[in-house]
């Protein structure tokens, strides 16, 4: 049998198509992998957003989560010793922060499990309503330091992350969660939780803890949709910072400080399906903002949640266009911002029957006028009065409006 060898040019003619085919296959496989990583997959959630904080109390959310989830980190978060954590129990609070670090660093934890784990931990962290031990123990921070050392948790030294850097990290993480909202999802629940605990010379400082939620659903009561069949996309991030100074316990002297800050940001989103009622009209959207403040009255420090919400661009709620006013609706959707109120409009509307609700300061400041329905304050069994606006964003923004200046202008005019 004779062996035939092709000239080099002829070899190239046969080899080139093979290389092209192989390269094409590689590109296709790489594209599939890349797109698969970029595209978030929806999942059926085991616990509805309405069963989690801040829509329900911390105890109720923790009970629901711990009754359902038992594996791995849930077994640690749901230990009975965390069911009641008093405000001065620094060792258990430190244990919860160590657990937050585990949740944060464990890459095998899904975003949805991270959401549930963070809720279980934040539900256990004490607030102003938690019991106090009223016991001043000079060794309290010494025990805290010993516990952290045993867990290989190093206190932040001078070279560690400063509080300003940590605040920037919180902003980046919250913006990252919001920016992760998949295209095509027009409904969402955003939950933001921030807590701070600090001790100086063994004495607890006032607790800071706040929760914020934003819910938007353009078609909330679609009778053709079973809520249990909804595919949710979940984005979640947890972060914490522990810092302290060397503790010196001896004789009559005692020095030592400790500061702990933790946050949890989540967004659960889905595609809300449009439908019409018997009259052929689309049902109104649901817009709900809820804010709960667990901060003690004596707290005088940084209000982290307010700073966050002022710094991060949250998703905008686009209302469905009405056929009779399509052009105006499209314009609203493009700007999607309430009109900044003038002194003349404020004087005319404030307190009138045309404008029933108003908030003149804070993140959700504005005037809700005309057909507004809902309530501003809703007392709960815990005595908390969360800020609630139910139906839609404000008609007028008061972010840069000064009521005192307006009143002075009116006084000058009336003289």
Determine if the pTM surpasses 0.75: no
Interval 283-338: pLDDT, tens: 667 888 888 899 998 998 889 998 999 899 988 775 544 333 444 444 444 444 56
Distance between first and last Cα of the chain: 118
| Local structure of residue 325 (DSSP, 8 states) | G
Return the exposure string of 122-138: e unless at least 16 CB atoms fall within 10 Å of the residue's CB, then b: bbbbbbbebeeeeeeee
pLDDT value at residue 375: 43
Alpha carbons 124 and 130: distance in angstroms, whole number: 10
Interval 35-45: pLDDT, tens: 444 345 788 99
pLDDT of 373 strictly over 90: no
pLDDT value at residue 364: 55
Q: Is 367 exposed, middle or buried (0-12, 13-18, 19+ CB in 10 A)?
A: buried
Alpha carbons 111 and 124: distance in angstroms, whole number: 20
Interval 88-141: pLDDT, tens: 888 899 899 999 999 999 999 999 999 999 999 999 999 998 887 655 455 566
Alpha carbons 97 and 48: distance in angstroms, whole number: 26
């Amino acid at each position: 049998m004779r062996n035939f060898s092709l000239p080099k040019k002829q070899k190239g003619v046969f080899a080139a198509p093979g290389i092209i085919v192989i390269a094409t296959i590689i590109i296709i496989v790489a594209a599939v992998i890349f797109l698969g990583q970029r595209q978030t997959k929806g999942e059926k959630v085991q616990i509805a957003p309405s069963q989690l904080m801040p829509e329900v109390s911390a105890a109720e959310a923790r009970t629901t989560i711990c009754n359902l989830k038992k594996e791995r980190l849930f077994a640690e978060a749901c230990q009975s010793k965390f069911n009641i954590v008093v405000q001065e129990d620094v060792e258990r609070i430190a244990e919860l922060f160590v657990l937050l670090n585990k949740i944060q660093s464990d890459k095998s934890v899904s975003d949805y499990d991270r959401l549930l784990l963070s809720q279980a931990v934040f539900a256990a962290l004490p607030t102003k309503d938690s019991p106090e031990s009223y016991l001043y123990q000079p060794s309290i921070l010494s025990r805290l330091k010993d516990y952290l050392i045993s867990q290989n948790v190093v206190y932040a030294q001078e070279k560690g992350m400063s509080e300003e850097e940590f605040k920037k990290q919180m902003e980046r993480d919250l913006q990252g969660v919001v920016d992760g909202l998949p295209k095509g999802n027009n409904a969402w629940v955003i939950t933001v939780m921030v807590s701070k605990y600090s001790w100086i010379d063994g004495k607890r400082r006032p607790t800071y803890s706040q929760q914020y939620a934003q819910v938007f659903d353009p078609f909330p009561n679609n009778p053709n949709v079973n809520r249990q069949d909804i595919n949710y996309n979940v984005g979640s991030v947890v972060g914490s910072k522990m810092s302290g100074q060397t503790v010196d316990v001896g004789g009559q002297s005692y020095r030592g400080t400790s500061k702990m800050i933790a946050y949890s940001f989540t967004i659960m989103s889905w595609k809300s399906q449009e439908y019409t009622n018997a009259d052929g009209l689309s049902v109104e959207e649901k817009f709900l903002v809820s804010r709960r403040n667990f901060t003690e009255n004596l707290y005088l420090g940084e209000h982290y949640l307010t700073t966050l919400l002022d710094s991060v661009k949250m998703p905008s709620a686009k209302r469905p266009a009405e056929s009779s006013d399509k052009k105006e609706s499209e314009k609203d959707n493009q700007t999607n911002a309430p009109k900044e109120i003038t002194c003349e409009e404020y004087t005319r509307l404030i307190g009138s029957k045309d404008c029933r609700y108003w908030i003149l300061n804070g993140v959700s400041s504005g005037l809700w006028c005309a057909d507004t329905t809902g309530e501003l304050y809703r007392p709960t069994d815990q005595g908390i009065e969360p800020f609630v606006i139910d139906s839609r964003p404000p008609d007028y923004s008061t972010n840069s409006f000064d009521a005192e200046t307006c009143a002075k202008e009116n006084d000058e005019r009336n003289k």
